[in-house]
Chain A
Amino acid sequence: MFNLKRISTLASIILLCIPMTTSAEEIKTSGGTAMEQSEIDKWSITIYPDGRNLPDGSGTAKIGKPLYEDQCVDCHGVDGDKGIAPRLVGQMGYQEWNPHPLLALTVAAWPNTTTIFDYIRRGMPHHSPKTLSDSDVYALTAYILHLNNLIGENDVLDRETLKEIEMPYKDKSFSAWDLEEGGEIRGKPLNSQ
């Protein structure tokens, strides 16, 4: 069952047993199968903050509201608050009605709008994900942004407009990988003495 026939190695087979850190020689593998672009497209669901990979379609908060009330309200609560799932609206911080640390978080503090679209499309509604159309997802994203007073009820979200909306926390976010590690694997963070 186990054979190395699909692996061509520059080094000898014996080298495979030596931990890679001690081996100066390179192991080259070649067992992968080329993918067609059409197959890649089928799996490519990740949206990037610059809007890369956003699909066609569009929606407004007005269209999103009834969708939300039909498919999301049971878990996320009326107007995106006080549900059994994360808060979609409001300021960060402990909530009086339920001072749970996870409910101190809110989508309003997310640095990127594209992530709202990306996550609803891949994961919501939680019990039956990937059942919404792309336009439904634009509309639900618009509804959440509207609940947070970031866009108007009739503002149209699509592949061009979504990425243009600035989230209030965009400027207040930073990457520890860049700032504390200097983008390198290191033994001590840069800011420690």
Chain B
Amino acid sequence: MHVVKNKTQDQVEVAKGGLLDRRRFLLSGATFLSVAGVSQIASQSHAKDFSKFPDHMLTPGFPSEDYGVPSEYENHVKRLPEEVYGSAIITAAFTPLDQLNGIITPAGLHFSVHHNGIPDIAPENHQFMIHGLVENALKWSVEDLLNYPMVSRFHFLECSGNSAPNIISDKPLDWTCGHIHGQISGSLWTGVPLKYLLDEAGIKPNGEWAMCEGADSANHVRNIPLKKLYDDAIIAFYQNGERIRPDQGYPMRLFCPGYEGNMSVKWLHRIEISDIPSQSKDEQSLYMDVTSDGRIRQYSYTMEVKSVITKPSGKQGLPESGLYEISGFAWSGRGKVNKVEVSADGGKTWANAHLEGPVMDKCMTRFTIPWQWDGKETVLVSRATDEFGNVQPTRADWVSRFARFSHGHNNSINSWHISPEGKVSNIYV
């Protein structure tokens, strides 16, 4: 039983006899007094000594919040800002992979790269249109589409520039896993399958390509084969259950599972159906690859099979020799991960890691394997294979295919060096 200490204006009576509005009471921060039980004096000699209990077991905590935030003791878990060029308009933030677990990234820690800043778009100022080689050019409001049938899918999203430092730098950089590989994140994406909207507009027989345009200040464009949009693309409205955030494309984004990140055009507002791709700026420069014989490789969409160990990883430390769990994740832009092999001797011998289910299409799959560290210098390596038999190449293989400065789509094998002191650092094998 409880009584109220003293009445304030937040203690609104909702019925006679002192019944209060619970919500206003809790929000007021007022506290209850405890009523001593009748038998207190008699039982005192048997009372447990609670004086050694921590404070949080002796005092009630704070009330729930309208929108929860992580514990203040996790304040160090933040995205890692990156600079691109010197203009300050292009900004990026990487996911701190080494501080997270599982296969889902909290929306606020999802990596993001913005070529033209993050637009502030009120839903009523946004519309989506499909025109070009269609029977009926159509437009929809955000509200219209929110009422359409939706699907939910777990998928990774990876920037084509992810893990670029391991290609560009001749010497392995002593950075964290998030700093090197943090342009991948995983979410549950919910939205309207593109095929409903394409069918509603009616594609003409010569329509093969979709010019997909965002509503940001430079109207980012990617050209996508209609076959892909019909296969598994959606217009996403929700990420991990809540409406997608401004830096993920609010009020709506395209989501093309398995394809390099910027194909999933954020702030999507226009699709023009065409017989040829429009050859957008990003398809000429930043998102093409240059082959070792100096050719421009365009429209290389798929993020190929890849894996990375997140624990232990760069800049972490192993306090002493003993039993550890090696943990990481693998993914393939073509389908499901079939196998992840781990080596604790720099790639001489390999063992299959345990894949933590569910193993999903174009989604991160967590892998683990127990490891007894003997306290000696060694190198941990992971190598993934997907359901179609595609295997991660070595760094040397990968580098041999491209011009030295070309760094997109790096899916080569990653490794961590363990020093006898237990220091973990990036290394190439």
Interface residues in A10-59 by Cβ distance below 8 A to B read: 16, 19-20, 26-35, 37, 39-40, 43-50
Supposing A123-B217, A174-B296, A183-B225 touch, asked if A31 and B144 sit within 8 A by C-beta, the answer is yes
Rounded to whole Å, the gap between the CB of A58 and the closest CB of chain B is 22
Whether B85 lies near A185 (C-beta < 8 A) is no
Interface residues in B380-427 by Cβ distance below 8 A to A read: 386-390, 403-407
Q: Is B378 an interface residue (CB 8 A)?
A: no
Whether B227 lies near A184 (C-beta < 8 A) is yes
Whether B151 lies near A35 (C-beta < 8 A) is no
Whether A102 lies near B295 (C-beta < 8 A) is no
Q: Is B350 an interface residue (CB 8 A)?
A: no
Q: Is A97 an interface residue (CB 8 A)?
A: no
A45's partner among B145, B196, B219 (CB-CB below 8 A) is B219
Task: Write out, one digit per residue, whether chain B residues 136-174 have a CB within 8 A of any chain A CB (1) or not (0).
Answer: 111110001111110100000000000010001000000
Whether A185 lies near B228 (C-beta < 8 A) is yes
Rounded to whole Å, the gap between the CB of B147 and the closest CB of chain A is 6
Residue of B nearest to A41 (CB): B131
Instruction: Please measure, in the bound complex, the distance between the C-alpha atom of A46 and the C-alpha atom of B407, giving whole angstroms.
Output: 28
Supposing A31-B148, A185-B227 touch, asked if A177 and B137 sit within 8 A by C-beta, the answer is no
Supposing A31-B147, A32-B140 touch, asked if A101 and B407 sit within 8 A by C-beta, the answer is yes
User: Which of A32, A45, A111, A119 gathers the greatest number of chain B CB atoms within 10 Å?
Assistant: A32
Whether B276 lies near A44 (C-beta < 8 A) is no
Rounded to whole Å, the gap between the CB of B174 and the closest CB of chain A is 19
Q: Is B301 an interface residue (CB 8 A)?
A: yes
What residues of A have a CB within 8 angstroms of the CB of B26 in the complex?
none
Rounded to whole Å, the gap between the CB of A145 and the closest CB of chain B is 14
Task: Write out, one digit per residue, whether chain A residues 93-121 have a CB within 8 A of any chain B CB (1) or not (0).
Answer: 11000000110110101111011001100
Whether A192 lies near B390 (C-beta < 8 A) is yes
Whether A7 lies near B151 (C-beta < 8 A) is no
Instruction: Please measure, in the bound complex, the distance between the C-alpha atom of A182 and the C-alpha atom of B219, giving whole angstroms.
Output: 29
Rounded to whole Å, the gap between the CB of B185 and the closest CB of chain A is 22
**B-contacting 9-mer, from A60-68, A84-92, A132-140, A151-159:** A84-92
Q: Is B125 an interface residue (CB 8 A)?
A: no
Q: Is B281 an interface residue (CB 8 A)?
A: yes
Residue of A nearest to B301 (CB): A177
Rounded to whole Å, the gap between the CB of A29 and the closest CB of chain B is 5
Whether B279 lies near A49 (C-beta < 8 A) is yes
Whether B147 lies near A7 (C-beta < 8 A) is yes
Whether A35 lies near B279 (C-beta < 8 A) is no
Question: A75-B87, A111-B296 known; 4 other A-B pairs, CB under 8 Å?
Answer: A19-B151, A29-B196, A32-B197, A129-B217
Q: Using a CB–CB distance below 8 Å, which chain A residues touch chain B? A: 2-7, 9, 16, 19-20, 26-35, 37, 39-40, 43-50, 75, 84-86, 92-94, 101-102, 104-105, 107, 109-112, 114-115, 118-119, 122-124, 126-127, 129, 169, 172-178, 180-181, 183-189, 192
Cross-chain pairs A/B with CB under 8 angstroms, 20 sampled: A4-B149, A29-B148, A31-B140, A31-B144, A32-B197, A48-B278, A84-B85, A85-B85, A94-B405, A105-B286, A110-B285, A111-B284, A112-B284, A129-B116, A172-B295, A177-B225, A181-B302, A185-B231, A187-B386, A187-B387
